[in-house]
Structure 1
Amino acid sequence: AIVLYIGERSEALLPREAGARHRATQWLIAALNSIEPFVMDVARIDAFYPNEEWAKLRRPSAVEFVQKRLGALSRSLGDKAYLDGDRFTAGDLMMATVLRILSHTDIVTGDKRLAAYLDRCTARPAFKRGLEAQIGDFRKAA
């Protein structure tokens, strides 16, 4: 909701042209509904239950399923720099944020296309500033 709210005020995140705007919104929702739940299955197992027998049995199928989702994402990305071509949008912001959840694994980086995409997204100066501001808040609260 915050990204959409900010995007309404920033053509950099939500283009004015209706088709591009709709695609950016679709990718944002896809990140949260089609990718993140399955990413979180693996992350939850790894973070909270790594030594539980049920988790050791569940993790391989969770990884396999997220890899299928990420394979479809990789194919959709194709040779484009970003999800909708050469332009970074709110969809890329949310997708990169979701993909970063698996940074403790090689699940995303094992796909060269997704690894390069994530590197492009997170190397952007605005992404770095935003992440540093967020981490700075956590440091102050610690």
Structure 2
Amino acid sequence: MIKVTAFKWVPPFAQGSVRDIRVRWALEEAGLGYDDDLIGFEDQATPAYRARQPFGQVPAFSDGRVQMFESGAIVLYIAQNSDALMPADEGGRAMVLTWLFAASNTVEPFVAQLAGIDLFHAEKAWAKERRPDVEEMVRKRLGELQAALGDRNWFANDRFSAADILMTHVLRDLRHTDILADFPALSAYVARNEARPAFKRALTDQLAPFRAAEAADPALAGGV
């Protein structure tokens, strides 16, 4: 059975963003069942967990054949064995790889900088000084991304693929802002992917243990 590590609970701002959702979504699209392997923050630094994930993060993944960490690598592994996530022809596969890495290497660094400032350092003087430049770079990259998408529904081969899982996840990290509203094609792209049944199942499954933890300790719902 496939196992994916995930947190028992995270603060509200991180719910729906923790990267196990990428793997959950890929597995749902591929029609593969899996089990949660839930960990607490106290487990991250243990030798047992570091043996599975050297940085103490989630997700870690195992399927009886391989053990992996890094969500992008795991999604790629799943996609290589699923027609739903990657086409069979060499050219099509190459385009999926191209856009998958574009999401991680070209778009995400700027989005992650902005999210880090807004969510963790917003009141610090250096962050207030730095933020306008970071937002400008985010907007520049989004403009380029929207131009590349054009009037297509998906980035690779005009069909849904693993690349769209990563790109959508990256763009969702802007949902604490209204920036994406200025890029209607990208906003529609994210909404289109969030409407997919596989994404909805993945999101519901990620949120389920958080809701259970909050029901047991209502103070958690406030981010305590």
Structure 1: gaps (5+ residues)? none
1:74 maps to 2:146:
yes
2:153 touches 2:189 (CA, 8 Å); kept in 1?
A: yes
1:23 maps to 2:95:
yes
Which runs of structure 2 are paired with 1:13-92 in the superposition (5 Å)?
13-92=85-164
Q: Which has the higher helix share?
A: 1
- Inter-CA distance 126–115: structure 2 relative to 1 (3 Å threshold): same
State the alpha-carbon separation in 1 of the partners of residues 211 and 80 from structure 2. Answer: 30
In the TM superposition, structure 1's runs of 4+ consecutive aligned residues that sit over 6 Å from their partners are none
Paired residue secondary structure (1:128): helix
1:119 maps to 2:180:
no
- Inter-CA distance 12–100: structure 2 relative to 1 (3 Å threshold): same
Structure 2: gaps (5+ residues)? 1-72, 215-224
Paired residue secondary structure (2:187): helix
State the alpha-carbon separation in 1 of the partners of residues 208 and 100 from structure 2. Answer: 25
Q: Which residue of 1 aligns with 2:42?
A: none
- Match 2:170 to one of 89, 98, 107: 98
What is the aligned residue count?
Answer: 142
Letter in 2 for 1:27: W
Q: Which has the higher strand share?
A: 2
Letter in 1 for 2:171: L
> TM-score scaled by structure 2?
0.61
Q: CA deviation at 1:23?
A: 0.6
Q: Which whole-Å deviations, capped at 9, do the CAs of 1:86-112 have from their partners, x for residues lacking one? A: 311011110000000010101122211
**Which structure's CA Rg is the greater one?**
2
What is the alpha-carbon root mean square deviation over aligned residues? 1.3
State the alpha-carbon separation in 1 of the partners of residues 202 and 111 from structure 2. Answer: 22
State the alpha-carbon separation in 2 of the partners of residues 15 and 133 from structure 1. Answer: 27
State the alpha-carbon separation in 2 of the partners of residues 43 and 136 from structure 1. Answer: 24
2:76 touches 2:162 (CA, 8 Å); kept in 1?
A: yes
State the alpha-carbon separation in 2 of the partners of residues 141 and 28 from structure 1. Answer: 33
Q: CA deviation at 1:132?
A: 1.5
State the alpha-carbon separation in 1 of the partners of residues 171 and 85 from structure 2. Answer: 18
Q: CA deviation at 1:135?
A: 2.0
State the alpha-carbon separation in 2 of the partners of residues 118 and 141 from structure 1. Answer: 29
> TM-score scaled by structure 1?
0.94
